[in-house]
Amino acid sequence: MIESGFPGFDITNWFAIFVPAGTPAPVVDKLYRDIARSVKDEEVVARLRREGGDINPIPPKEFERFLEAEAEKYRKIVKESGITAD
């Protein structure tokens, strides 16, 4: 994208597992620990890498900050581009 005239282009795909708002923190933490442990399994890592994936489990509080940063990035893109819903 940079070579096409879009310096600073930084859009990546990512996947996450969400739980309903209000899920108790101990439940969220247990899910995170279990999922983080499972994606460290050698077979899981090998499969995801074969399919082009990069595994980076992010703790829940850090993920909240990541989501806000992603939302701000796209708000800026929409504002600067003049994109509208209609």
**Per-residue 3-state assignment (H helix, E strand, C coil) for 54-74:** CCCCCCHHHHHHHHHHHHHHH
| Predicted confidence (pLDDT) per residue in 70-79, tens digit | 999 889 888 8
pLDDT at 53: 86
32 vs 59: CA distance, rounded Å: 7
Distance CA 77, CA 81 (A): 6
- Give pTM, 2 decimals: 0.73
Q: How far apart are the first and last CA of the chain?
A: 27
**pLDDT above 90: residue 1:** no
Cα separation, 37 vs 27, whole angstroms:
15
pLDDT tens, 30-85? 999 999 999 899 999 999 889 988 888 999 999 999 999 999 988 988 888 888 88
- Residue 42 DSSP label: H
